[in-house]
């Protein structure tokens, strides 16, 4: 799965892994246009605090909408470039964005794969660790679905946080709960 680089890697660092839909932006379902992309309250503050503490910031996102033909990779990448610029304007350099365009039931030829990168499989996390030389036990992950946490656990990410305030799904046992991104920031950084 491709990654997008915006900064040179610094080996040995911990990372803050962020899911995209439902963590960075409100999950409106197959979000692929700027006009539908609304940043979640507190996301810039959370990412900025991670940067301030020397963590790499890495986005890991399932984008089955590509395989399902809702939008294509150039559209996803254009939206990603815009998103990265918005983060930069907020003082946050996101190191990489990993995305999985596949789905076992994808309609677009070539994307119909049960791949090792689609969460809950850990492939995007292990690729990031390899590419950036990350310390996974010292790293953190924030997701809004049990599959995010499962991927993190499978990769050996040390701190897993599930965003939201519903009951903890059984598959996400071992994660901590943050009702919103301000609570997540407090939980991870005490700030």
Footprint of Mg ion (CB under 5 A): 19, 21-22, 144
**19 given a catalytic annotation:** yes
3-state secondary structure of 147: helix
- Compare residues 10 and 179 and give the one whose CB is closer to Mg ion: 179
Cα distances from 9 to residues 6, 35, 96, 103, 105, in angstroms, run: 9, 31, 9, 29, 35
Q: Which residue's C-beta sits nearest to Mg ion?
A: 22
CB 13 within 8 A of CB 105: no
- Compare residues 27 and 135 and give the one whose CB is closer to Mg ion: 27
- Least CB distance from residue 28 to Mg ion, whole Å? 11
- Least CB distance from residue 60 to Mg ion, whole Å? 10
Q: Which residues contact 190 (CB under 8 A, 6 or more apart)?
A: none
- Least CB distance from residue 20 to Mg ion, whole Å? 7
Catalytic residue among 19, 95, 144, 148: 19
- Compare residues 24 and 53 and give the one whose CB is closer to Mg ion: 24
CA dihedral defined by 128, 129, 134, 135, rounded to 10 degrees?
Answer: 140
**21 given a catalytic annotation:** yes
- The catalytic residue positions are 19, 21
């Amino acid at each position: 799965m491709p990654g997008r680089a915006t900064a040179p890697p610094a080996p040995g660092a911990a990372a803050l892994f962020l899911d995209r839909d439902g963590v960075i932006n409100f999950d409106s379902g197959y979000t692929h246009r700027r006009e539908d992309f609304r940043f979640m309250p507190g996301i810039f503050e959370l990412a900025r605090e991670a940067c301030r503490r020397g963590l790499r910031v890495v986005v890991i996102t399932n984008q089955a909408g590509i395989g399902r033909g809702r939008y294509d990779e150039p559209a996803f990448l254009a939206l990603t470039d815009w998103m990265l610029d918005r983060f930069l304007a907020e003082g946050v350099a996101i190191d990489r964005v990993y995305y999985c365009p596949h789905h076992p039931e994808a309609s677009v030829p070539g994307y119909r794969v049960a791949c090792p990168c689609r969460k809950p499989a850990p492939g995007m996390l292990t690729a990031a660790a390899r590419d950036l030389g990350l310390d996974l036990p010292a790293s953190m992950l924030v997701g809004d679905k049990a599959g995010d946490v499962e991927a993190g656990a499978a990769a050996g990410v040390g701190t897993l946080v599930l965003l939201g305030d519903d009951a903890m799904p059984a598959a996400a046992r071992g994660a901590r709960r943050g009702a919103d991104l301000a609570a997540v920031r407090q939980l991870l950084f005490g700030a």
